[in-house]
Amino acid sequence: MRLTLRVWRQKNDRSPGAMKEYPVDGVSPDMSFLEMLDTLNERLTLEGEEPIAFDHDCREGICGACSLVINGDAHGPERTTACQLHMRSFRDGDTVDVEPWRAAAFPVVRDLVVDRSAFDRIIQAGGYVSVPTGAAPEAHATPVPKAAADAAFEHAECIGCGACVAACPNGSAMLFTSAKVNHLNVLPQGAPERETRVLDMVAQMDAEGFGGCTLTGECATACPKGIPLTSITSMNKEWLRANRKVSRD
């Protein structure tokens, strides 16, 4: 296939960026989107032009590093990560726009790379459980109800990619934060920090400059791991419960 790519190029966080056009020939339908970018970068390097900077690591949909807005959609036209998107999703002759995540709390570092350290700070605010020192506890010492294990697993699927933020018209991080809060709050091991976790993580999310949630649902539509919108309502319930408990105590 022959495609025309229009790619966001930006030297650093202080310089203005612009879309730049690149024709790309010989694209196989079996290539991943990132492999297609690799071939373009090899050509740019040989021609003496700076290769396009983009984030990637596992290339198998588990690390959350890849972060491209493709033709206006976070991760592109399929419900998967950009590294798992294949060129068979495009047609010969297509023009494809490639941009970075666009959100106030995710400033562009260079080209298609954005700074997602705000997510790390939300995790640091409460995404952990207390583990007493001493001998390892007996296996199954803490029984976990099947329903709680299933709910925790569903929320633990969040890979922290940030597509939910990029897709949200408000630049909200509610889906990500709710996945991380609910993952631990439904488990008995997460009970000691149940209230502080949700209060501190939501406070950090607000401090990072993410927008508020107006339940447009774009986040859940873009999420490659299927984190449901009900995750946000569960977190809101947890937040109200924690506020009531803290004001009572």
Residues in touch with ligand SF4 (CB under 6 A): 158-164, 175-176, 179, 222-225, 227
Judged by beta carbon distances under 5 to 8 A according to partner kind, the member of ligand SF4, ligand FES, none in contact with residue 56 is ligand FES
H or E segment and range at residue 194:
helix 194-207
Judged by beta carbon distances under 5 to 8 A according to partner kind, the member of ligand FES, ligand SF4, none in contact with residue 126 is none
Separation of first and last alpha carbons in the chain: 65
Would you say 62 or 113 has its CB closer to ligand FES? 62
Binding residues (CB under 6 A) for ligand FES: these are 56-59, 61-66, 81, 83
d(CA 118, CA 36) in angstroms, rounded, equals 29
Would you say 58 or 215 has its CB closer to ligand FES? 58
CA distances from 210 to 70, 106, 172, 188, 202 (A): 22, 9, 5, 30, 10
Find out whether 4 and 97 touch, Cβ atoms under 8 Å. Answer: no
CB-based contacts of 224, cutoff 8 Å, min separation 6: 61, 75, 79, 80, 81, 84, 159, 161, 163
In whole angstroms, the minimum distance from the beta carbon of 233 to ligand SF4 comes to: 14
Judged by beta carbon distances under 5 to 8 A according to partner kind, the member of ligand FES, ligand SF4, none in contact with residue 63 is ligand FES
In whole angstroms, the minimum distance from the beta carbon of 227 to ligand FES comes to: 15
d(CA 94, CA 26) in angstroms, rounded, equals 13
Would you say 40 or 83 has its CB closer to ligand FES? 83
In whole angstroms, the minimum distance from the beta carbon of 151 to ligand FES comes to: 23
Buried b or exposed e, range 60-97, using 16+ CB within 10 angstroms: ebebbbbbbbbeebbbbebbbbbbbbbbebbeeeeebb
Would you say 179 or 202 has its CB closer to ligand FES? 179
In whole angstroms, the minimum distance from the beta carbon of 81 to ligand SF4 comes to: 8
d(CA 98, CA 31) in angstroms, rounded, equals 16
Would you say 82 or 227 has its CB closer to ligand SF4? 227
Would you say 34 or 223 has its CB closer to ligand SF4? 223
In whole angstroms, the minimum distance from the beta carbon of 60 to ligand FES comes to: 6
- Look-up of token digits 């997510």: 119
In whole angstroms, the minimum distance from the beta carbon of 124 to ligand SF4 comes to: 16
